[in-house]
């Protein structure tokens, strides 16, 4: 809906001639005579302070309500975000786009108060009329008021530090909003909208906004990116409750925790495989399976007990490394075997040879100076250096990395024989999981856990190789495979054979995830939903097995090219022209065309899922196929239907405050057991880290509350059979080598110290897990 609320655009002590008439509704919306503006270190330009309801500024709102509220002499805009909406926002739109391009290096700031009883995560977006945008986010504690800002232009926006979020570049008590997504090089000459948004809330929440303004950035220097990490890989610049100061303290903390874990032991009422020991018992098959029990989907453990997968994911050394800013002239370190089955970010420590180390050179001074300590190559901890041959994103394509996490494991537990600290790490990790009440590991548990026969797990693999690909036009992690290419089938077979060798028909293996967060498109528009098909139709037949299959399907349905044109409203000259490639991306999609595109999209997704399913069935018939962990941004109706046809359990990665009932209404139609493969919540105020992650909390106490809310919403859903927190440990403060994530996502710190409030929350949830999930189930 559109609410044309009269609010003022205020003239400050700036030479803004167009503001002489406070009731003017057209010229003064822009408010700029740039050459004559005086610049201060505070506000360069006040966009809105809501004091004088004169000028027209359009307010557009969806799933939210806004109104002006007064307190004493002050007036602000109050926004209430409705609980029932999956996405709620209020947008401020000037009649003429704002031009901020001549204001120098600037940031957008506002005074915001959270008037809710719980914290609120606000996304602040700015748009131009051409589709470019910035998005930042911040968590505001309950009842708190502060100044929040996001840098728009300046040198900070051009520096690619390899961190998902950099430290503050100037000293201030104001709160820097965290970068989320968008185009950092966005031009500021035509800003058409400022949007305040929330996503999937458990509660109705509200904020008050005042003094929305553009400010000039203070001067800064690159020292803000120096000395970020101490010798433990923690924040060098900040103290916080879990921070380790000495090796002796690290060992003492470890010894105290191990003693506690051994005294308390495993959470009560668990079967050998983590199921509900005292609950109803069903048929035991010796392996995990699923069954709908009294209207609720459930996993059944090998002994017949009801089971729910409450887990932490990514329990491995891979992804713990961070770039040091060093590389090697020796090209042998970058060799890749074309038959590799493991992508770069899933590899553990890969040391380089002593000979290669002799060719080391600093390739990035910026990265190299982020560390207060890195070991010499003859240091006892130098074995935690590794090499990354490629990155997904960031300024460094390849180079030396270091794992502070693995180094801290050696510091914690010592080394009585080669890599003994890793054996101790696995032992402590399993003790933690059983004591904290987790029933399994999540995806990406290191294969070294598989044959320990201590805790159920999910195996995983990736299909990589030199097969042909297609695109959705928005390939987040990589281009999409062409499942009609015989090479894809061969590579799938190679991958699942490796998984089978690792699993060895072990009953502790619940199921297998293959691939992750593929870019199927999404349901936000028909163009995006059918993007893979539309883009593939641009290819030549001889270059694209998928295109060949699509044309074959179209010829089988349509007697002639004229028949196709009449149905689609197109003017394709011939089947031959279609075979050579046609660009109909953006063409209006009528009902007949939509049906065809839907059929082709389903055929594409079915070919993928059938190929993976069939190869798994040949070598791992006793273990469930878990699908591909679809992301909210990469999920279409057709892909979901195809996955449901072949996966034993549907898997989705869902980063929101909680599993909102509207988001999962489609599960009733699919009627398949479903599992959350990833979610997390983070905070920075008491962790020393610079980015909380995708979902933000105010602090660790708030993070624990939000974890409980999320888990309860999943447990209460009759189709859900599990939820996996991503991930076991925090990201490196200097960014993981794969993509720069420097998130507070862990249940443990980079020094392997547990976050006590998160552990307490997990114990509370997991202790009542089975009674809450299955307490009312009646087994026939």
The pLDDT tens digits of the residues spanning 78-130 come to: 999 999 999 999 999 999 999 999 999 999 999 999 999 999 999 999 999 99
Parse the chain into domains and list their residue ranges: 2-221
Residue from 460, 437, 446, 492 nearest 623 by CA:
460
Across 645-670, b (16+ Cβ under 10 Å) vs e yields ebbbbbbbbbbbbbbbeebbeebeeb
- Kindly report the CA angle at 510 between 504 and 514, in degrees rounded to 5? 80
Instruction: Give mean pLDDT, residues 267-283.
Output: 97
Contacts of 50 (CB under 8 A, 6+ apart): 7, 8, 68, 75, 76, 77, 209, 210
Instruction: Give mean pLDDT, residues 579-598.
Output: 96
Q: Tell me the backbone φ, ψ of residue 619, rounded to 5 degrees.
A: -115, -15
Q: Give 388-404 pLDDT, tens digit per residue.
A: 999 999 999 999 999 99
Q: Give 21-75 pLDDT, tens digit per residue.
A: 222 222 222 222 222 233 344 678 888 888 775 466 889 999 999 999 998 888 9
pLDDT value, residue 46: 87
Instruction: Give mean pLDDT, residues 626-647.
Output: 96
Q: Give 127-183 pLDDT, tens digit per residue.
A: 999 989 999 999 999 999 999 999 999 999 999 999 999 999 999 999 999 999 999
pLDDT value, residue 140: 98
pLDDT at 9 over 70: no
Q: SS in 3 state form for 404-465?
A: HHHHHHHHHHCCCCCCHHHHHHHHHHHHHHHHHCCCEECCCCCHHHHHHCCCCEEEEECCCC
Across 134-148, b (16+ Cβ under 10 Å) vs e yields bbbbbbbbeeeeebb
Q: Does the domain formed by 2-221 have CATH 2.60.120.430?
A: yes
Q: Which of 4-8, 322-326, 327-331, 713-717 has the lowest mean pLDDT?
A: 4-8
Instruction: Give mean pLDDT, residues 256-268.
Output: 97
Please state, in angstroms and rounded to a whole number, the distance separating the CA atoms of residues 309 and 442: 8
**Whole-prediction pTM:** 0.92
Q: In whole numbers, what is the pLDDT of the chain averaged over residues? A: 92
- Percent of the chain at pLDDT > 90 equals 89
The per-residue DSSP string of 660-693 comes to -GGGGTTHHHH---EEEEE---B-STTT--SB--
| Contact between residue 142 and residue 170 where contact means Cβ atoms under 8 Å apart | no
pLDDT value, residue 66: 94
Confidence of residue 17 (pLDDT cuts 50, 70, 90): very low
DSSP H or E stretch at residue 357: helix 354-357
pLDDT at 684 over 70: yes
Q: Give 119-129 pLDDT, tens digit per residue.
A: 999 999 999 99
Chain position carrying tokens 């820097």: 176
Please state, in angstroms and rounded to a whole number, the distance separating the CA atoms of residues 729 and 752: 7
SS3 144: coil
Q: How many CB atoms lie within 10 A of CB 1?
A: 9
SS3 384: helix
pLDDT at 508 over 90: yes
Residue from 573, 537, 532 nearest 553 by CA:
537
Instruction: Give mean pLDDT, residues 186-202.
Output: 95
pLDDT value, residue 56: 65
Q: Give 493-506 pLDDT, tens digit per residue.
A: 999 999 999 999 99
pLDDT at 572 over 80: yes
């Amino acid at each position: 809906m559109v609410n044309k609320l009269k609010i003022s655009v205020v003239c400050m002590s700036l030479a803004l001639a167009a503001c002489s008439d406070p009731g003017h509704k057209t010229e003064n919306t822009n408010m700029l005579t740039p050459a004559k503006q005086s610049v201060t270190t505070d506000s360069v330009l006040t966009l809105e302070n809501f004091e004088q309801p004169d000028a027209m500024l359009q307010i557009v709102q969806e799933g939210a309500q806004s109104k002006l509220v007064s307190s004493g002499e002050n007036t602000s805009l109050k926004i209430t975000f409705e609980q029932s909406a999956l996405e709620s926002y209020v947008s401020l739109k000037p009649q003429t786009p704002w031009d901020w391009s001549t204001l120098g290096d600037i940031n957008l700031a506002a005074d915001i108060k959270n008037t809710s009883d719980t914290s609120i995560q606000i996304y602040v977006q700015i748009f131009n009329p051409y589709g470019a945008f910035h998005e930042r986010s911040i968590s505001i504690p309950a009842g708190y008021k502060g100044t929040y800002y996001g840098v728009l232009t300046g040198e900070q926006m051009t520096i690619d530090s390899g961190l998902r979020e950099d430290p503050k570049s100037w000293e201030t008590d104001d709160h820097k909003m965290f970068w989320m997504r968008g185009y950092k090089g966005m031009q500021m000459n035509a800003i058409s909208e400022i949007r305040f948004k929330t996503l999937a809330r458990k509660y109705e929440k509200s904020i008050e906004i005042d003094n929305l303004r553009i400010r000039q950035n203070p001067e800064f220097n690159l020292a803000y990116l120096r000395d970020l990490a101490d010798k433990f890989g923690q924040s060098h610049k900040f103290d916080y409750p879990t921070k380790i100061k000495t090796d002796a303290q690290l060992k003492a903390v470890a010894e105290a925790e191990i003693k506690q874990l051994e005294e308390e032991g495993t959470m009560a009422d668990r079967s050998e495989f983590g199921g509900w020991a005292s609950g109803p018992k069903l048929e035991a098959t010796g392996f995990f399976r699923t069954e709908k029990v009294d209207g609720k989907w459930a996993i059944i453990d090998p002994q017949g007990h009801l089971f729910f997968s409450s887990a932490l994911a990514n329990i491995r050394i891979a992804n713990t490394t961070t770039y040091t800013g060093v590389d090697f002239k020796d090209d042998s370190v970058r060799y890749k075997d074309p038959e590799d089955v493991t992508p770069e970010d899933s590899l553990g420590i890969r040391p380089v040879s002593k000979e290669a180390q002799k060719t080391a050179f600093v390739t990035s001074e910026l990265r190299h100076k982020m560390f207060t300590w890195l070991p010499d190559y003859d240091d006892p901890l130098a074995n935690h250096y590794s090499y990354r041959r490629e990155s997904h994103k960031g300024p460094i394509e390849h180079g030396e990395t270091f794992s502070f996490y693995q180094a801290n494991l050696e510091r914690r537990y010592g080394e009585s024989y080669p890599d003994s600290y890793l054996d101790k790490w696995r032992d402590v990790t399993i003790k933690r999981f059983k004591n904290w009440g987790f029933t399994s590991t999540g995806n990406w548990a290191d294969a070294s856990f598989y044959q320990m026969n201590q805790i159920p797990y999910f195996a995983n693999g990736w299909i990589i190789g030199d097969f042909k690909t297609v695109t959705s036009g928005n390939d987040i992690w990589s281009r999409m495979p062409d499942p009609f290419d015989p090479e894809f089938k061969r590579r799938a077979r190679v991958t699942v054979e490796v998984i089978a060798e690792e699993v060895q028909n072990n009953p502790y293996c619940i199921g297998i995830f293959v691939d992750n967060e593929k870019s199927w498109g999404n349901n936000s528009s028909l163009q995006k939903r059918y993007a893979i098909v539309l883009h593939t139709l641009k290819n030549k037949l001889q270059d694209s097995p998928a295109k060949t299959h699509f044309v074959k399907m179209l010829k089988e349905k349509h007697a002639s090219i004229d028949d196709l044109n009449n149905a689609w409203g197109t003017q394709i000259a011939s089947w031959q022209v279609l075979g050579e490639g046609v660009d109909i991306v953006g063409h209006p999609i009528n009902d007949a065309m939509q049906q065809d595109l839907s059929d082709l999209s389903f055929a594409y997704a079915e070919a993928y899922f059938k190929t993976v399913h069939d190869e798994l069935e040949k070598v791992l018939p006793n273990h469930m196929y878990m699908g591909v962990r679809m992301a909210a941004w990469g999920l279409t109706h057709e892909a979901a239907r195809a996955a449901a046809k072949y996966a034993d359990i549907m898997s989705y990665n869902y980063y929101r405050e909680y599993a909102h009932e509207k988001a999962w209404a489609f599960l009733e139609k699919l009627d398949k057991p479903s599992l959350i493969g990833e979610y997390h919540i983070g905070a920075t105020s008491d962790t020393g880290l610079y980015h909380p992650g995708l979902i933000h909390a105010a602090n660790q106490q708030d993070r624990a509350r939000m974890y409980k809310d999320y888990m309860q919403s999943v447990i209460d859903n009759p189709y859900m059979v599990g939820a996996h927190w991503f991930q076991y440990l925090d990201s490196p403060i200097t960014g993981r080598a794969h993509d720069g994530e420097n998130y507070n996502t862990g249940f443990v710190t980079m020094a392997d110290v547990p976050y006590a409030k998160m552990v307490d929350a997990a114990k509370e949830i997991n202790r009542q897990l089975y009674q809450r999930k299955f307490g009312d189930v009646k087994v026939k």
